Each structure stands twice: as C-alpha cells, then as structure tokens.
Chains A and B, each alone.
Chain A
Amino acid sequence: MSDPSFEEAQRELDAIVERLERGDADVDELTKLWERGEELYRLCVGKLDTVRGRIEELSRTSES
C-alpha cells in the first residue's frame, strides 16, 4: 500500500480519534488504534515539515 496523501492520513487520524473518544472501541483494539493514530500523525507532520521547509527556503532565496 502506498503512502496515503496528507488529506487522507489526516482524515483517517481524525476518524480514529473520534472513534476512541466515543469510547466504544474494543479494548483489544485500543493499542492498535493508538499506534495507527501515532503513525498517521508522524506521516502528516513529516509531510508538513517538508512543505514548511520548502516554503522557508523559497522565502529566503526570493529575498535576495
């Protein structure tokens, strides 16, 4: 399976958070959901940091 897009990952993360917050998740599933959520979070943050780095780089080079 290829990496989900930022949007897809964020949507899935939000769905997991909502599911967890409803409190009806199976206890055996909790860890799995939590780990998947963490994974999605790191994926999103990674993508975001790449984009932010690129923006900053562009801003720097365009100021000259």
Chain B
Amino acid sequence: MKVEATEVDGRKVFAVRAFSKGVASWLSRLPTVWVEGEVTELRRQARWASVFFTLKDPDDDASLSVQMQRTRFDALELELTDGERVHVFGRPELYEQRGELRLRALTIERYGLGAHLAALERLKRTLAAEGLFDAARKRPLPRFPRLIGLVTGNDAAAKRDVLTHVVQRFPPANVLVAETYVQGPRAPDAIVAAIGELCRRGVDVLVLARGGGSFEDLLPFSDERVVRAIAACAVPVVSAVGHEQDTPLCDLAADVRASTPTAAARLLVPDAAELRAALGRSRAALHRGAAVAAERHAQRLAHSRERLHRAPLLTLERRRSRLDTVQARLAALAPQATLERGYAIVRRGDRVVRSPADVMRGEQIDVLVAEGTFGATVE
C-alpha cells in the first residue's frame, strides 16, 4: 500500500494519519496470535459496536488494550468478569485515530481448566509439603461456641442456610457475620481480611460458607493467601464451600469440612433438643443416685442401731456368766461342799473341836455331816 508523503526541504514527511495508516498496514501483515492475561476494565454497552477491555499480566504491570466486536463477544457467552484469566486469539492493530496499539480479538477462551488444575495441583503439593494439611494440625471445635464467625457472600443463600440451621439447632447461638466477596479477583484479599477481623472480634470458631459455583467461581477458596490464612487462623475453622464434589484447597486447610450448610450447623452447635433430653436423663440419674445414697445411709444406720441394742445385753450376759463362775468357785469354798466330800465338823456345845485336848472322856459332842447332825459320846 502506498503512503502519501510530501517533500519538505529535501526530507520526506508524513502526515500523522498517513504515518498511522502505514504502521497499521504493516501491522496487519503480522500473523494472528494467542495472548494470555487477566481481564480488567471490561467495558461493554449495548449501543457500542465493540467491547473493550485491558489484558494484563497478573504479576506484572504490562497491559494491552483489547477490542472485540460486540456481537462476536456476546456470541461466546463467556460472561467474563474482571480478573479472569483468558486466552485471547487475535492480531495486533493500530487504532489509527490515536496511534495506539491494540489487540483485535477474534475469539476468547477462558484460561484452560487443565492449566488451572495443574497450577492448583502444584500449590496443593507445596502446601502439603509444608504440613498445612496435616491431620495433626486439626483442632477440635468448641462444644458450646460463645461467638461463631461466619464469612460469606453478602446475598448468599449459603449465609441464610448456615444461619437458619445454626439457630434452629441451637437458638441461643451468637453469630457474627462478615460479608465479603466470595468470587472474582478481589475475593482472596477480602476473605483474608474478613477472617482477621472476625478473629479480632473474639469469635471462637469460624465458618466459611459459599454455595456451589463453577470451578472458576470457587478459585478464591483455593487461593494461596486464603489457604494460608485458614491454616494460621487462631480459632478452628469449618469450611462449607461449594458442593460435595468440590474440594477447594481451603477444605484441606480447614479443621473440619462440611459438605452442606446443614452439616456445618451440625458441626458448629449442639442440638438444643438433644441437649435438653440428655440433661433430663442426667437429672433423673441424679435423683435416683441421691435416693440410693440416702437409702444406703439409712440401712447402715439401722444396722448400727441394731448392733447398738444388742451389744449391752451381750456385755451384761458375759459379765453375768463371769459372776456365775466366781460364785461357783465361792460355793466350792463353803463348808457344805467339804461335808459333801465326807468330812464332819465336831462341836462341843457351840465350839468347834479342833484338838483331842478340847474334850474329855464321856462328854457329849455334836457331829455335823452333810445331811444332818447326830450326837456322840467321847470315849
């Protein structure tokens, strides 16, 4: 293509438009290419023929303007939002009016699922090697939480579900809710900030709740910052993110994973009805126990009293039998017993004869034997 130039003082000079046209023409001969980056500043209006956005390197300031036909963009039905990583297929062109380079997009693809998965897998391995997911790190949840921290989206059904089920199970529960972004590029930092804020406010257990979503929607919950914040959290964390089949990395770092908001509520608070029933059982046992203890004391007392009543009589009987023995011995010493053995007592008048000198021949004496007395004459 021929570009018009004029001669001025022997030099070839281009008008701006002509220059741009020339560069544009040269650029248009470059081949189409794939460019990867994050979508930012997406501008789309129904009355515009084109959609505009800026493509950026995630870890770099390098950026590139992208333009795409609105009808073509809409046909892709990507529903792109800021911060999403994409592959843009197109060719460089010059916006001649402003002399600006931009990429004219022919098609856009979301950053491949495979690539995301590979990146996640790498991160998972790194964090696992650091021990962030170790079973030994898991802490038990408080049995009766004083204050539950709930991190969730501002209009999330997940929020309502968790709250409803927690209060249903345990009406006196206190829940502090931190509403935050739960998807998109701002979500990771916002979630980390919410976790920190709730911990400062004194919660003693934390729950992250988010309903199901696409793989990309759930990516913030696999973000390294979020996963590390959960692992470092001062209080136990319950992860209730996505559906059963989703396993964002936050599930692995959390102390417990709940597959549904109902399950989360079950983990967070005790069932008040069950608790009341258990208390009732404890009370019944208490009454029974007290009655049994009192009964045992009463029996012991009754037994003591029985012994008390028996003991003095036993003592008296024993004493009595000892007295009988003594009496028996005493009796053995009595004269009658001696007489029984065949001895006799000889008296002269009322004096006992102890010596032959005590009597004279012909004197009357009395002889006392066991069964009576008879008289005799001394020879």
Q: Contact between B294 and A20 (Cβ–Cβ < 8 Å)?
A: no
Which among B283, B300, B304, B308 has the greatest number of chain A C-beta atoms within 10 A?
B308
Task: Check if B348 is an interface residue, CB within 8 A of chain A.
Answer: no
Docked complex: B282-303 residues within 8 A CB-CB of A: 283, 287, 290-291, 294, 297-298, 300-301
Q: Contact between B308 and A41 (Cβ–Cβ < 8 Å)?
A: yes
**Interface SS majority for chain A:** helix
CB distance from B94 to the nearest CB of A (A): 88
Complex: how many Å from CA A23 to CA B307?
12
**Interface SS majority for chain B:** helix
Count A interface residues, CB 8 Å.
Answer: 28
CB distance from A5 to the nearest CB of B (A): 13
Count B interface residues, CB 8 Å.
Answer: 21
CB distance from B63 to the nearest CB of A (A): 74
Docked complex: A38-52 residues within 8 A CB-CB of B: 38, 41, 44-45, 48, 51-52
B-side contacts of A20, CB under 8 Å: 307-308, 311-312, 314-315
A-side contacts of B297, CB under 8 Å: 6, 10, 44, 48
What are 25 pairs between A and B in contact, CB < 8 Å? A6-B297, A10-B301, A10-B304, A13-B308, A17-B308, A17-B311, A20-B307, A20-B311, A20-B314, A21-B314, A23-B311, A23-B318, A27-B316, A30-B312, A34-B309, A37-B305, A37-B308, A41-B305, A41-B308, A44-B301, A48-B294, A52-B298, A55-B290, A59-B291, A62-B287
* B residues apposed to A, CB below 8 Å: 283, 287, 290-291, 294, 297-298, 300-301, 304-305, 307-309, 311-312, 314-316, 318-319
* A residues apposed to B, CB below 8 Å: 6, 10, 13-14, 16-17, 20-21, 23, 25, 27, 30-31, 33-34, 37-38, 41, 44-45, 48, 51-52, 55-56, 58-59, 62
